[in-house]
Each structure stands twice: as structure tokens, then as C-alpha cells.
Structure 1
Amino acid sequence: MILNFTRYNKREFVGVSAPRVILTPPPKSRIRVSLDSIGGDGEEGGDSSWRKVDGLVRCPANYTPLTPITFIKRAAKVFPYDTSVVYGGSSYTWSETYWRCLKLASALTTHLRISPSQLVATLSPNVPAIYELHFAAPMAGAILCALNSRLDSSMISTLLDHSQAKVLFVDYQLLNIASKALHLLSKSGAELPSIVLIKGPSDFKEHENVRYDYEYENLLSKGDDQYKPRMPIDELDPISVNYTSGTTSRPKGVVFNHRGAYINAISTILVHEMGPRPTFLWTVPMFHCNGWCLTWGVAAQGGTNICLRKVTPKAIFDNIVLHNITHIGGAPTVLNMIVNSSIDDQRTLPNKVRVLTGGSPPPPQILTKMEELGFEVIHMYGLTETYGPGTYCAWNPEWDSLDRIEKSRIKARQGVQHLGLEDVDVRDPITMESVPADGKTMGEIMFRGNTVMSGYLRDLKATKEALKGGWFHSGDVAVKHRDNYIEIKDRLKDIIISGGENISTIEVETVLYSHPAILEAAVVARPDNHWGETPCAFVKLKDGYKINEGEIIEFCRNNLPRFMAPKTVIFDEIPKTSTGKFQKVILRQRAKAMGSLGI
């Protein structure tokens, strides 16, 4: 069966109902989210059965709204003298971090006058202040909005305008970018947020003529360490807003709630196999889905957070040896950087280091090389709309008999849902029927459960479309295998339809990565007068290698069905998003500008 996704993209959904979602910003940026019906596919709700059983009550003794704020209070109680955060020469214990978060939450409330449900934004790399704000902001009843620290002033201005944040915490190295963003924002007449500067080393010279209203440590010192945190009244109250990495002029702010953050934090530490007192190296940006919810998850296990300002192979290896790191995380681009690092940067690992990777599917060759270096890779899959991790490739003892390459190929699949989700399925996007588990029939990956977003900030239309039929529509094309493991074939917009055949760009890229000369590869469609579309490969070669277009095309033809092999190869740097993903929209434009192949 061939699904023509090009045709599907132009059709309207019919015969499916959507949950009623209200996402309305009241005056002064207060946000309230309510979901009046879950399901949306004909399931009935009704009164809870416990109300009908005599003798049962719901009271503070047996019910409190779920929130990850409770993780840090427990960590301070159970692990008070264990190291919580390390950054350079500074370190804190869990009791100290909890105390600092209380004072910061108090200062937000009393000095910055932050009201419940107002947004607190950050613009910073992975430093202790941002970790503390993941607890302090919701303790004050506020909603955290960790902005991508790799964006330019124009985009930061757009996001500040859309989010209506009341305060912006800025790292000293990004103060100029923030200042320019506020200048752009002032031209629109919008209310400007207060600026809190996170200072750097003592020898750092402050930028002249760049204003800020508070300094982080001074503001924190004004707080009360006896502050009583504002716990959510409803566990579906928003805890954070995360803007998707594909943000354009129309921002998509994904709203997380306390319940979802709590459940996904626990689910992620289970996926990552984090036992008590792990040591986690922060190679995942904390602005990315709140660090895949591990900002809260590490606290739940009383672990140690090793903050890393700049991610390089040398910094990763050095910190692993110095701190006996047990867990790290990162996109496949980080893994690619590790396996292709110089011998001088690499170190012998003192112990097995578990790596949680997600984003684009990792090439099997990268997984194999990571294992050779002493890492154990766990592949997960998710989106910002699913709080980050949603599925993972659980280990199957039957794989032990496979050779290393085949084992890595299977581990590169997206796997099964984690414990926090009700369901993940591959469904026909038009009929909404589940596709057969034959490993061939393609459909769209869909999610449902407590770790699916509440909605898009101030975009009810997009929220309804994404949650249509009682499922979150990922936009990713996949197949389902007999063991119910899902395997991504492509994004809906990336599938190449050549002569009526669907070509998965991911499958072509996997073969390209197996060539010893290729460091990076991305495949998009190029117009073709005869076939409609054909694969166009953009590749970056490893240092010291030389190879021509014909050799790469022939290599692909020897390892793929002939119609799937690229007909065009471009040698160039491959543009990436701020989170390390290939910018295929730019590559598609380049391929289109080349004109059509064929007669």
C-alpha cells in the first residue's frame, strides 16, 4: 500500500471530533488552560466512580495535585548533604539548592511582583541559575519559559512579545543579544520585561550602555528562605512554555502542565535507567523541553547535576573522568561529534556511561561506534508537544544473538511508549485506523495520554488541529513492526514520492552514513521532469577524505533499491537549527532552485 502524503496534506480531516480546548490569556498575561473533554473519539466520561462508593472521601490526607516541585523538597530532606549542582569551581548541596530556590521564589513574588500564571523567561546556557529557576519559578506560581539561547535578537524579541514574559533572566554572555531584542520590542509599544543579569567571572567586564534591573545573586539574597511555595491548585495548571525548535514568524509555544511534567520526569529517569544518586552531565540544553524533564528528574533521584556551558568532545570526556559521570543525553549530532572526535580529546571511560539520545533517528553506525567507546546508548523519541521523551527502544534479550550492526539497526528504531503515556500508535491520518503491524504499511505516529501538551499558547486553532480525534498528530511517518515497535520513515513533509513510490529520506541517509568518508548527510526531494521527485543528497565529508558524486551514487545503488539512490549529490556544510537538527526547509529550497532533472 502506498500512502500519497502529498495529497493528504491538502485534505481536510473529516469524521473526527476534537476535544474542547480553551487556552485564553486573561488580562495581564495570566494564562488558564482547561480541557473539558479528553478522548474526543466517542468515549464517555461521566462522574468518577469513587463518588458513588459509600465511605470514600478526597481530602489533603489522600490527594494533592502532582507537581515536580515536590522532588526538590524531598531531595533536600533525603539527600541534604549530597552534591546537587556543580559548575566550574562552585558546588551546592541539595539542602543549599532548596534553600536558594525558596529565596528566589520569594524574591520573584515580593520584589519583582510576579503574579500567579505570569511568565518568567530565561536566556542562558546550562548554568546553576537556570536549574534553580526550574523550581523557583513554579514555586512562585509563575510559568517558566526557557528561551533557546542560540537564537538571534530578532527571534528573541518575537518570542518575548508572544509570551508576554514579565521578567527575563539573562546570562552575561547574552546580555547584548537581549538588549537588542528589547530595543526591537520597544518599537512595537509592548511592555518590556525586567532584566535580571546572571553574572559571570569576576574578571568579566560589563557591557557599556547595556541596562539591567537586577543582578541574580543580589536578587536572591533579598528573598526569604522561609517562603512557603505556591503549590498548584489544579495539577493541570501550566508549569512551563517551550517554543518549538522550528519556530518561525508564527511562534508555537507548547504549554506543559504540572501533572505532565511530574509524570514525564519519572518516566524519563526510568527510560534512562537512573538509579539513586546518579551523576548527570548536562549536554542536553535545559531550554529544550526543560532538559527532557530531567531538570526535575535528577532531583527526584537525589543526583548530581554537572553544568556544562559549552559542549565539546573534550569537555564531555574530561568531565566524565573528573566527576565519574553515569548519565548524559544529547541529539545524534552530539553523538556524531563524540565518535568523530580526535584521539587527543578522547579519554578511557572510568565506568559505563548511559546515553539518552533523541531527535532525528541515529544512524546505526553511530550507535555501534559509541558502544566501542564505552557508552551504552538508549534511543528515545518524542517531540516538544510530548514533553520530550515519549517512546524508547527497550532492550530485548533476543537481540543478544545478533551481530553488532544488526543490533544497532534495531536499536535505532523508536520503540514503544514509556510508562507515562496511555498509548502511542501508527494510524492512517485520514481514516484514523491503526495500520497493520507488518513493518511496511506507513501511517502517522500519534500520541495520547498525560504527557501530551495542554495546547499551544494563544493559538486555539493550532491546538485543535494537533489534538484532532483525541490523538496528538506528530507529523512523523512510520511503520509498526510485529513486536509493536514503531520505526520512523520520515516527516510527512520530507517523504519523497518518485514515480509513485514513497522514498524514506531516513533510509537513504542511513546508507550514506555507512560510507567511511561521510561525516554528515541530509536528503531532500529535487524536482524531476520524469519521476516527479528524486533524492538529492547534501553531504559533508570527514577531514582528509576525497570522493566524487558518482562514487557516492554508485555506493547507494549497491546498498539500496536503485530508485532510492540519490541522483544528485551536493558537497557543502549542512545548515542546522539551534538544537542541532538539519534545516531541511533550506535544503529543499536549494534543491528546488537547481531546477528539474530529466528531459
Structure 2
Amino acid sequence: MTLNLATLYEAVAAAVPDRLALVCGDRRLTFAELDARADAAGRRLRAAGIAPGEHVGLHMLNGTEYVETLLGCLKIRAVPININYRYTDGELRYLYTNAGLTGLVVDDVFAPAAARVAGDCPELRVVSVVRTGETAEKPSWPSGISVGDYTSEPGEPDPSLREGRTADDRYVLYTGGTTGNPKGVVWRHEDFYMAAVKGGNPYGEPRRTVEELVEGATTGFELSYMLTMPLMHGAASYNLFMALLTGCKTILMRRFDALDVLRTIDREKPMVLSVVGDAIARPIADAIRAHGAEYDLSSVKVLGSGGAILSRSVQEEFAELLPGIHVNNAFGASESGADGTIAIGEDGLMRLAADPRVTVVDATMKPVPPGSDEVGYVARSGNVPLGYHNDPEKTAKTFPVIDGKRWTILGDMARVEADGTVVVLGRGSGCINTGGEKVFPEEVEQALKSHPAVMDALVAGVPDDRFGERVAAVVELRPGTSATTDGLRTHCREHLAGYKIPAVVTFTDAIVRSPSGKADYRWAKRVLTQN
């Protein structure tokens, strides 16, 4: 057997059929039930004319239907495409057309927006609407598109669904990033399994065969994961596949609500609580402080963050609120998978443990010497993506092939300490040049968020006649607290060199982030330059 995601899941489901696989609200599916419903979802897509290699959009909130469709696409060798449900019509039009969607599964609440842009998507021909009951509106769809209601009621097993699969089948993950249009990262199944799902073994050597994976799922320690973020986000998909391929339970939140997180923990008893940085973790911490005594939260042993780094202050807060909890600050990207764990030292620096697959290279792709002050780009080789969908120019820049080896060059800037530890400085695209000094927004954000009144903060450069750019910050305060610009600047002086302290601070009622918690630096820069 090959390392194909659908085949791997089916093998695990056959080995642990009666284990609970998926929980979302009052919906509960065992591994066998999820497999049967995914079979039905795939069979319906194939009957509607979706062929291997064609792209199917998943325009939904979290729910069992999302996972059924995701697996159903993989079973028939179609390619699931994650859709950000907060996109405007223009953004949806770009994503639908850039991805070349031929099929779409959409929640009824998002169907009106999908119908408005569907006429501009020449390849779209099949739409399935999930009736969630959140709206009774039934929009008018363009002619030539077959529209029906979603169903995945199991039928008789269909062995033909399992034909033709290979490790080279594609999985595409669209990433919005922090600037520019979303990009579709194209993975081979085997590469995604090894890099993003850690070879089906989060704490050891990768499991390189189906037999090894099944043995691990049946004899290993059974975890349970609670995902607070939307499945259309890369970090959530990594966690979902990790759980599915290790025979573990996944608990989904349809929409994030901090108090509902506590209720769900009390009811479902997850061991791993998955978040995306402070934007999700800090409201949970506030909810625990206010209402934690009302709920049993003792099952949670791990707080895991992916897609954004948890600040040191939030980690310390969780250590106080849930004594003994382990924090896993994952470092990775849609373009590289899971690259390791970040530790934030007392000096405020973010350190990534040495890993033979991860290195730091200069502009000529030469490794940066350990122990030097030279700054380069974080890079990974081995099981990395093939490139960006429909974008050969960006593919050549981000995924170069050198001496027959494929690389991913991330946008994160870093240097290497003498012992090989990688110090991650921040995204190069956001680096602020103020009078020749380089300032990475992440470091300033960490300092601001260590202030007890600060709920969230984003930092960007604004034009300055003397220094070229000045450091500026948009700050959201915690409810019931207050702070002044001077007070925040004084606080930052305890953590930062003078040139890194924000010259401008703008207060806002709410920081704008994606549904997954990713920073919207375009919004931050717009707010800062308008003030």
C-alpha cells in the first residue's frame, strides 16, 4: 500500500471501527460511521461527474459534513479546496476561479455569496448545499450549474472508490498569509503525511507503512483533540489528520466562543486544546479566570498552538490557571508543514530546536554559519510541496529545486546560534526599517501583549520623513481595563531597545484577524496610516 491519505484513514478506521472519531455539538461519529459517510460523500461527487484531479471547494463552517466531504474527495482522488468563509465576494471570486473549482459543497448560510460569484467561474458545474437550518434563503444559481441538497447517508460499500490511488495524488491547501491574494499550496499525499502529519507519530519516528500506522493507532496512547479554530485553516487540518490517522477523537467547535470552550471541555474531556496564537488563547484564559471554577477542566494536559506563536505572557497565564499544563508552540506553515516547536526565553527571543530538515540560508541558498550575526531565511528540504497552484513565478521563488532536491524557502527571517538553535526573528515581509535599524513586528507585539491591560496588538511600519519608517502599533485592550500610549511605551522600555518602541499607538475596539487568528497586517497598516 502507498502513503495515500484516504487509504491510510481507511486502514485505521478498519482497525478501530467503534472508537469515537468526531464530535461537533450533538453529532457524534465513530471511525466506521465516518468512513461510511465519507464513502457516500465521495460516491455522490463521482456520480455528479467529479473526476480524479478536479477541485472541489469546501465552503463551510466546522461540522461533520466538512470532514465527510474532505475524506470523500480524497477517496475519489478529487482535490478538496479550503474556502475562507469570511471572504468578500471579490475575494471569493478570485479563489473560486484561481482554484478552478468544478464542484462546491457550501453551507446554506454562505450559499447566497457563492451564487453571486458562481457565474464568473466557468468550470464550476456541481454544487451541493448543506442545510444547516441557519437560513431559509435559497438563492438563484446561474444556469448550467447542477444544484442539490447535501446528503451522505451510507449505502453499500463500493470497492471501486479505492481504485487508482497513489502517493502522488494531490492535496491543496489555500493560505491567505498576511499580504496579497490567497495561494494554493500543492502537496503530494505522501509529502503532506510526512511533513504536516509528522508521519502519523507526533512524538517519535514517522510510521512509513500502513502496517506501522495501524499498529500505532491500535496500541499507542489514545489522545483526544479539541479544535477551536476553523478546519479551513492549515493548523486545524494538520491536527485533524493527526487525530484521524492515529485513531484519536477530534472535537470540533462550529464557531469559536470562549465560554463554550469551557463547556465543551467539561462535557467531552479533551486532552489537547488546539488554538491559533493569543487571539484565541487569551479569550479562553479570560473565560477560565472568570468562570473556570464552574467547569471541570482537568482533562486538558496540553495547550497546542499552530499558525501563530503564543506569547510568553499567555503561556505564563495558562500555567497559573491550569497548573501542570504543557504548552506546545508549534512552528510551521502551509508551505512546509510542521517544522518544530518554538520556545520563548526570558530574553524574549523565539528559539526553534535544531532539526536536520530545517536550516537557515542566505539569498544564494548557502547555509548561514552558526554563531554568526548573519540573518537569513528559514528553509526546509525533503517532504515539501510541489509549488503554488497556477503560479509558476512564486513557485520558483518559494520552492526551488537545487541539485535535484526540492526546498521550501519560508518568509521567516532567522539566525543560527553556535549550538545550532535557530532564533526566529519574524516575517521578512513585515520587517520595519527605521533609520537603518531592522525591527520585526513579532518582537514588539510580544512586549505589548505582556502588559496586563493588552488583549491583542499588531505592529507595522508607517512612513516617516526622517527615519524612512516608524514603529507603530494597533492595540486592543482587555474589557474593563485602561492604558495610555505613554504607559505602554514605558512598559515596552523594560523589554525592547529604544528604536523598537512604538512611536505611534492607536487603540481599537477589536483587532482584525482571519477566522483562524492570523494577523491582518494590511488592515493594521491602513488603520495606522489613516491616523
In structure 2, the residue matched to 1:485 is: 421
In structure 1, the residue matched to 2:137 is: 207
* TM-score (structure 1 length as normaliser): 0.78
In structure 1, the residue matched to 2:316 is: 368
8 Å Cα contact 1:365/1:408 also seen in 2? no
Q: Which amino acid aligns with 2:284?
A: I
**Residue 266 of structure 2 corresponds to residue 318 of structure 1:** no
2 CA distance for matches of 1:409 and 1:231?
Answer: 52
In structure 2, the residue matched to 1:377 is: 327
- The equivalent position to 1:165 in structure 2, one of 80, 101, 107, is 101
8 Å Cα contact 2:61/2:230 also seen in 1? yes
> How do 1:32-47 and structure 2 match up within 5 A?
none
1 CA distance for matches of 2:8 and 2:197?
Answer: 10
In structure 2, the residue matched to 1:390 is: 339
2 CA distance for matches of 1:205 and 1:537?
Answer: 39
Offset at 1:486? Answer: 2.0
- The equivalent position to 1:496 in structure 2, one of 432, 436, 441, is 432
**Residue 26 of structure 2 corresponds to residue 76 of structure 1:** no
Offset at 1:548? Answer: 1.9
* TM-score (structure 2 length as normaliser): 0.87
Offset at 1:286? Answer: 1.5
2 CA distance for matches of 1:132 and 1:272?
Answer: 27
2 CA distance for matches of 1:479 and 1:435?
Answer: 7
Offset at 1:290? Answer: 7.2
Give the 3-state SS of the residue equivalent to 1:190 in structure 2. Answer: coil
Distance 1:169 1:439, change over 3 A: farther
**Residue 413 of structure 2 corresponds to residue 413 of structure 1:** no
2 CA distance for matches of 1:99 and 1:198?
Answer: 18
In structure 2, the residue matched to 1:190 is: 122
Q: Which amino acid aligns with 2:327?
A: V
2 CA distance for matches of 1:393 and 1:530?
Answer: 36
Unmatched 5+ residue regions in structure 1? 1-63, 395-404, 595-599
1 CA distance for matches of 2:103 and 2:15?
Answer: 33
1 CA distance for matches of 2:67 and 2:11?
Answer: 17
**Residue 192 of structure 2 corresponds to residue 261 of structure 1:** yes
In structure 1, the residue matched to 2:241 is: 296
Structure ranking higher on relative contact order (CA contacts 8 Å, 6+ apart) = 1
% identical equivalent positions: 23
Distance 1:541 1:250, change over 3 A: closer
Unmatched 5+ residue regions in structure 2? 205-216
In structure 1, the residue matched to 2:285 is: 339
2 CA distance for matches of 1:81 and 1:145?
Answer: 29
Q: Which amino acid aligns with 1:390?
A: D
Offset at 1:205? Answer: 5.4
Q: Which amino acid aligns with 2:69?
A: L
Offset at 1:409? Answer: 5.2
**Residue 481 of structure 2 corresponds to residue 545 of structure 1:** yes
Q: Which amino acid aligns with 1:415?
A: A
In structure 2, the residue matched to 1:443 is: 376
Distance 1:345 1:440, change over 3 A: farther
1 CA distance for matches of 2:348 and 2:203?
Answer: 20
Deviation sequence 1:89-123 (CA, Å, 0-9, x none): 222221121122222222222x2111111111110
2 CA distance for matches of 1:250 and 1:150?
Answer: 14
Offset at 1:328? Answer: 2.5
1 CA distance for matches of 2:311 and 2:241?
Answer: 30
1 CA distance for matches of 2:452 and 2:200?
Answer: 35
Q: Which has the larger radius of gyration?
A: 1
Offset at 1:378? Answer: 0.3
Q: Which amino acid aligns with 1:147?
A: I
- The equivalent position to 2:511 in structure 1, one of 557, 567, 574, is 574
In structure 2, the residue matched to 1:424 is: 358
- The equivalent position to 2:466 in structure 1, one of 488, 508, 530, is 530
> How do 1:95-174 and structure 2 match up within 5 A?
95-109=32-46, 111-174=47-110
- The equivalent position to 1:460 in structure 2, one of 374, 384, 392, is 392
2 CA distance for matches of 1:408 and 1:283?
Answer: 30
1 CA distance for matches of 2:11 and 2:168?
Answer: 22
Deviation sequence 1:111-166 (CA, Å, 0-9, x none): 21111111111101110111122221111121111212222233222211122212
